[in-house]
Structure formats: C-alpha cells, structure tokens
Amino acid sequence: METFSVYLLKSVTSLSILYCFYWVVLRNETYYSWNRLFLLVSLILSFLFSMFRFSIQSIPSDTFVHILNPVIIHSYISSNEPIKLFDARSILSIIYISGAVFFCLRFLSSLVKIHFLYYRFPKYKFNGFKAVVLDNDQSPFTFFNILFISRIDFESGKVDEIIVHEKAHQEEFHSIDILLLEVITIIQWFNPFIWLFRHALKSEHEFIADNKVLLEGFDKVKYQKLLFERSLGITSFNLTNNFNYSLLKKRLKMMTIRKSSSLIKVKYLLSIPILLCAIMIMTVNINSYGQKEKDTIAVNPITEDSGNIEIFKFIRENIKYPITAKINKISATVYIDVMGDENGKVISANIRRTDIIDNLGKAILVTGYNPKTNPKIDSKSVADIEAESKRVCMLLPHFYHGEDLKGNRIKAIITVPISFVLSNVKDK
C-alpha cells in the first residue's frame, strides 16, 4: 500500500485518461448500457488498483553501480523546543479532511431524508414497486425498489411512462451505481474528473431509462412533453434516480439522433487497451537498476576524496529533517538508488529500502510501509522522510557517468544511504 497522497495522484491521472476517452469516443453513441459499463469499470479500477504497486526492474548492461557510505543527517529536539505543528502539507491535509467530512455528511443527510420520507408518508404496492405517496409536487424518483411519487400522479393513473422509466432504473440497479459514486466522491471530492464521471454516469442512466420507454412503444412526442412537465417539479436528492434529471436538453437530443451502427462496437474494443494503460499507470513502477558487467569500469570512481564528498556536502546543506518525524521521534536510514545519464545528470531516484528506529530504539526494516506492521510508528513520518530524501537526490547538481572499455559513456547508479538521526538534548 502506498501513501495516500500517491494513491490520490495515481487515481486522478487514470480517471482523467479514461474520462477523456469517454468524452471523445463514446459519449454520443447510443449504446448506453455499454457506456455505463465503461464508466463503472473505469471508476472501480481507478478506486481499487491505485492502492497497489508492483515494480518492474530492468537491468541494463551498460550501467556502472556503486554504493556509498551513509550520509548522516543529525537533528536535535529538546523538551522545551517549540515545534511547528502545521506546515503546508498539514494545511492541505486539513482542507482535504474537511471536504471529505462535508461530503460524508451530505451523503448521510440524503439517506436521512429518504428515510424520513419513507416513514412519514403512506406506502402502497404499485406496479411491482413499494410506492411512497408524497403530498408535495415531487418529481417521481426511485431508490432501489422504492418509488417516491406525488399524490397527484398516483391518483391520476396516467403514469404508464413514468412507471416504465422508473422500472428501468430499478431493474438496472442504478441505485448501486449512485451509492458507489457517493463513496468515491467522499474520498476524491477535490478531483474534477469525479464530478464529470458523476454527470456522465447519471446521464447514461437517464438515456437507458428513456430508451426503455420508447422501446415499449410509447409516443415519443408525448413522452418528451411529459419530461418537460416533470422538469418543473421539486429537485430530488443526490442518492436517487430522479425523473426530472437536469440534463433535459441532452436527453431530448439523444431520443432523436440516429441509432449507432453495429460497426461502432469496434470503439468499445479500443477501450480495452485504454483500460490496460490506466492500470499500468496505477500499479506499475518501472525502476532501472544497473548491474556492472565484467568489461565495464568507472571513469570517475567515487571515493571519499572526490565527488563523494560533494554529494555528502550538497545533501547535508539542502536536506531538512521532516517536522512530523521530529514530533514522533523517528530516526531512519533511507537507501536510494540514484541514476545519472551519460552526461552525469540525475534522471531518477528510487527508494530501495528504509530502515527505521522508532522511539523505543527498535530497528524495523520497511518496504512499502504498512502501518499495521508496527502501529507505534507514524506512517506519515516515514513517508515524509522518504519524500525528502528523494527530493534532495533529484536536485544533485553534479553526478557521475561511467565509461566502458571502448571509451563510451554509460549511465551510472549509486546507492545513497541517508541516515536521519534524532538525538535528545537535555535542557539547562
């Protein structure tokens, strides 16, 4: 499991790719159920697969590898030392959590409102539904197998189109889709593509239900008039399939356009490599680890008397002991594989492993840190130490290149151990 911020970033990236494909290729096609399936699979894959990470290690033969001695970063903390409790990352975390709490409360509020309507108003068995008859001018809507309908519509008896429409929502289990949307929205409320997915999926729900009405043989003009009349009713809740969904103009257009040709199904085959590409982005981390061959030497060997000292100096002058690690009294050694190209420019920095010493003095080897391994170690502190180590290594101004026996420049990798050592200072 990766850090939550990395998970969110990967999920946002995959959702953006998948939504752009839907918008450009699929959104105007009349295979509504297939569109719905694509949107659902995209959401589920982005929600689940972003939590996992698999590494693919390539071992180029033209790479020189060297391991340095540890760079030791000391920091001190005293009992009276003022500690900055909030940094930029903490502020962003507070904003994120506040948004998640807001949308969680909105979700619960919608459930409470539906529960209130269900128990306040009379209920009848009606055309395969459990119908709740409301006193106000409420547009009809369904929540699973419960139909909420105004008393005027219920008593008029002229609701055949409404029943077919809402029956389509019930039989297609659209309420499950909407619950899934709400859960993902709580987690990724800040992601603009989540809101675009919400709009798209709810639109496809309505297209499916409208198409079902027309397939049952109801008059198209009469049904469109009914849609317009019902659009004047009271707006329903986020958790329901609402008969007066706001995208009325688009719904009327989709009922009049020519049905998509069967050849268009080829477009949906194209969605398979797009989905696989998104999965690769979410789950695979490609690292290039070098392996020194027998005929490969280093042109500029890394010794304590040459560039090694410059690396130590740069890291010591630019690295910062993370505030979270100081607060939680975390000391650690991070081993980073830093790769430079043929010209000595840093092109990647990847964590190989992290050794942690907690405030109890117990050493723990951490790879893909899982808080369940040792709940006494703060996961954010670990993530901050690793992020700071990678940040500084990517900034190294002067790196190394290797050279083979023919005099050709080759890439070089050095493993840089950075030790964060936190010591206590007694107050005078």
Q: Quote the pLDDT of residue 299.
A: 30
Q: Are 161 and 226 in contact (CB under 8 A)?
A: yes
CA 101, 196, 27 angle in degrees (round to 5)? 155
Confidence category of residue 302, pLDDT binned at 50, 70, 90: very low
- At 71, the pLDDT band (50, 70, 90 cuts) reads low
Q: Given this model, what pLDDT does residue 428 score? A: 41
Neighbouring CB atoms inside 10 A of 284's CB total: 12
| Mean per-residue pLDDT, 300-307 | 43
Q: Phi first, then psi: what are they for 360, rounded to 5°?
A: -95, 0
- Return the pLDDT at 1: 41
β-sheet bridge partners, residue 427 = none
- Cβ 58 vs Cβ 288: under 8 Å: yes
How much is the mean pLDDT over the chain?
77
Interatomic CA distance for residues 16 and 166, integer angstroms: 31
Q: What separation in angstroms does the CA of 275 have from each of 15, 61, 175, 378?
A: 10, 33, 24, 35
How far is it, in rounded angstroms, from Cα 237 to Cα 240?
A: 6
Cβ atoms of 134 and 151 closer than 8 Å: yes
Is the separation of the CB atoms in 368 and 1 below 8 Å?
yes
Q: Given a cut of 80, is residue 382 above it in pLDDT?
A: yes
Give the separation between CA 357 and CA 332, rounded to whole angstroms. 6
- Residue whose C-alpha is closest to residue 11's, from 370, 279, 197, 383: 279
Query: Shortest CA distance to 321 belongs to which of 70, 92, 6, 83?
Result: 83
Distances (CA, A) of 136 to 117, 148, 161: 11, 11, 20
Q: Regarding predicted confidence, which is higher, 171 or 66?
A: 171
Q: Which numeric CATH code is attached to 292-425?
A: 3.30.1150
One DSSP character per residue, 280-298 reads: HHHHEEEEE-----TTEE-
pLDDT of residue 367 exceeding 50, the answer is no
Instruction: Provide the token pair at 311.
Output: 């690396």
pLDDT digit string, tens, across residues 400-413 = 666 666 777 777 78
pLDDT tens per residue, range 327-342: 888 888 888 888 888 7
Q: What is the CA 302 to chain-centroid distance, rounded? A: 41
Residue 120 burial (CB count, 10 A): 10
Contact 289, 43 (CB under 8 A): no
pTM exceeds 0.85 for this model: no
| Tens digits of residue pLDDT in 200-258 | 999 999 999 999 999 998 998 888 888 877 764 444 566 666 554 457 888 888 888 88
Q: What average pLDDT score do residues 267-281 get?
A: 82
- pLDDT for 375: 58
Top pLDDT among 301 and 320 is at 320
> CA-to-CA distance for 181 and 191, rounded, in angstroms?
13
Q: What is the rounded CA–CA span in Å between residue 331 and residue 99?
A: 33
Q: Over pLDDT 90: what percentage of the chain?
A: 23
The DSSP code for 336 is E
Using 50, 70 and 90 to split pLDDT, how confident is the model at 139? confident
- Which residues, 6 or more positions from 130, have their beta carbon under 8 angstroms from its beta carbon? 123, 124, 145, 146, 147
Q: Where are the domains of the chain?
A: 4-52+89-281, 292-425
DSSP 264: G
Contact present, 198 and 246 (Cβ < 8 Å):
no
Tokens for 330?
């975390």
